[in-house]
Amino acid sequence: MQKPPRIVVLGAGFGGLTFCQSFRHPTAEIILLDRQNHHLFQPLLYQVATAGLSAPEIAQPIRGILSTHPNVTVHLALVTGIDVVSRRVTSEVGVFDYDYLVVALGGRTSYFGHPQWEEFAPGLKSLDDAQRIRRELLMAFEKAESTSDLEERRRLMTIVVVGGGPTGVELAGACAELTRSVLRADFRHIDPRQARVILIEGSPRLLGQFSDSLGREAAERLTAMGVEVRCGVRVEDIRSGVVQLTGETLVAANILWAAGVAASPLTTQLGAELDRSGRVKVASDLSVPAHPEVFAIGDLAAVVDKDGQVVPGVSPAAMQEARHVARQIEDELEGLPDARRPFDYWDKGSMATIGRSAAVAKVGAFELTGFPAWLAWLFVHLVFLIGFRNRLAVMLQWAYSYFTYKRGARIIYGLRRPR
């Protein structure tokens, strides 16, 4: 008897998971490897970092999502190597041979050649990152309450967010709300409303991928919320509690990095050309050049679709790519002609939230701002959040926060680790 064709999928983000969910074939088996046991709804990660949501509300166990897909076997394992010549993946839990490989490992925070900044300016890619940021944000205010040194207090109550894309805008807005509304009444010696939230962006304006007017709208909204927006400012260096700008030094207990994303370093093992961010330049069918059995999708693939459109690193793109690859492999296994086709990206629009009742969105030629954009943001994020229970739980948290100006997840743990 012939061995069934085996597809190894690396990563259970939006790309890898969608592939496993949408792939249908009577015999093929799928092995899915991920370094975590959960799929993470990354678009809401900044809310975990700013104590609005708890970690399990934006994460779902991968096994649970795929329990009704008996052809999929999940292993919790770090991928350590890819050998495209012998068609083999090595991991913490062993070696897996493949007939097809779908690489969907996503991106990680990039410090533009300054990896030493990571220690002082955490990025936001995992639940552990988010909980570290939450702990350090909340701890700074706890320490400020207990110190009588005024300069130290100012340092503790200063937050710098580096990067004016959607993540930076969302983080800065959430930090401003945290300090201005949520924590307002809870201290006796400090006034959290005097906290400084500074948003640094290297280019001349916020939200580069949106229009000029949406970028200006975001800056105005943030300023009204108390954020100091600084565009066209270069970060020269980051040290412990210090951001060195050209000609200015910012002293801040919390420095959050939202400036750059690079592909997983495993892309270097695919033997393909990479772009500046380390992403694989894939062929029009999303396969890796010279390896038609290897596909790269999601944030680690540099994709130009059949209309010449550069596909952005967003979750709808990863999901569309996953379905495209699934259809191609199914057709090929069935022996159908023309199994390979150029990928066609359908841009559903993009959005960024700024804070309470404020967001910006573009859908095709349409642009939305303010409350309508915020409602649209709310709706889209709830619909795409995986799992009925999570959707309800998040809705409950949001309703609670909206009406009470409180946040449900202001819990510091990992502060005093069990031995």
Strands (E), 18-105: 29-34, 38-40, 59-61, 72-76, 79-83, 88-91, 94-97, 100-103
Residues touching a second copy, count (CB under 8 A): 67
Paired strand residues for 205? none
Q: How is residue 45 written in tokens?
A: 């990660």
Among 6, 88, 281, 410, binds a second copy (CB under 8 A): 410
Among 99, 145, 228, 293, binds a second copy (CB under 8 A): 145
Paired strand residues for 243? 238, 250
Alpha helices in 158-289 (DSSP H): 166-177, 212-224
Q: Within 65-124, which residues bind a second copy (CB under 8 A)? A: 67-68, 70, 73-78, 93-94, 118-119, 122
Q: Give the integer Cα–Cα distance in Å for 78 and 15.
A: 17
Among 22, 25, 28, 63, binds a second copy (CB under 8 A): 63
Among 86, 310, 383, 419, binds a second copy (CB under 8 A): 419
Q: Give the integer Cα–Cα distance in Å for 331 and 345.
A: 20
Among 129, 170, 299, 321, binds a second copy (CB under 8 A): 129
Q: Does 389 bind a second copy (CB under 8 A)?
A: yes
Among 112, 340, 396, 402, binds a second copy (CB under 8 A): 396
To a second copy, the closest distance from the beta carbon of 121 in angstroms equals 12
Paired strand residues for 301? 280
Q: Give the integer Cα–Cα distance in Å for 162 and 288.
A: 33
Q: Which of 57, 170, 177, 201 is catalytic?
A: 170
Q: Phi first, then psi: what are they for 35, rounded to 5°? A: -80, -10
Find all residues with CB under 8 Å of 344, minimum gap 6, and list them. Answer: 305, 306, 307
Q: Does 59 bind a second copy (CB under 8 A)?
A: yes
170 a catalytic residue? yes
Burial classification of residue 335, based on how many CB atoms lie within 10 Å of its CB (0-12 exposed, 13-18 middle, 19 or more buried): exposed
On whether the CB atoms of residues 38 and 59 are closer than 8 A, the answer is yes
Among 83, 128, 236, 275, binds a second copy (CB under 8 A): 128
To a second copy, the closest distance from the beta carbon of 31 in angstroms equals 10
Among 142, 220, 228, 293, binds a second copy (CB under 8 A): 142
Would you say 135 or 323 has its CB closer to a second copy?
135
Find all residues with CB under 8 Å of 65, minimum gap 6, and list them. Answer: 17, 21, 39, 386, 387
To a second copy, the closest distance from the beta carbon of 20 in angstroms equals 13
Would you say 129 or 299 has its CB closer to a second copy?
129
To a second copy, the closest distance from the beta carbon of 284 in angstroms equals 35
Encoded one letter per residue, x for contact with a second copy by CB under 8 A and - for no contact, window 183-222 reads x-xxxxx---------------------------------
On whether the CB atoms of residues 62 and 46 are closer than 8 A, the answer is no
Q: Provide the annotated active-site residues.
A: 170
Binding site for a second copy (CB under 8 A): 35-38, 54-57, 59, 61, 63-64, 67-68, 70, 73-78, 93-94, 118-119, 122, 126-129, 131-132, 138-139, 142-143, 145-147, 183, 185-189, 388-390, 392-393, 396-397, 400, 404, 406, 408-419
